[in-house]
Amino acid sequence: MSKMTHSVTCFKCGKVSTLEINGDAFEAWRSGKIVLLQDAFPDLSAGDRELIKTGIDQQCWDEMFGGEQ
């Protein structure tokens, strides 16, 4: 398992978030070998996985969609 640092800039607020993730899992997800982010990164929070997928951080997601119900 290779660790890598992955930085994502939220497209709404511009905040840069840096995550330490499994590089092999990231490449497998990006290439389509792993379809679901929760399968590639079970150790990340749902908010961190959403950030990787959509580029929206947790705070902006909550502001846009009302947070957890």
pLDDT tens, residue by residue, 40-58: 999 999 999 999 999 999 9
Is the pLDDT at 68 greater than 90? The verdict is no
Q: What is the mean pLDDT of residues 18-31?
A: 95
The two three-digit tokens of residue 67, written as one number: 């947070």
Is the pLDDT at 67 greater than 70? The verdict is no
Cα–Cα distance for residue pair 64/38, rounded to 1 Å = 22
The two three-digit tokens of residue 7, written as one number: 């930085």
- pLDDT band at 8; cut points 50, 70, 90: very high
- Domain ranges in the chain are 3-65
Residue-level pLDDT at 54? 94
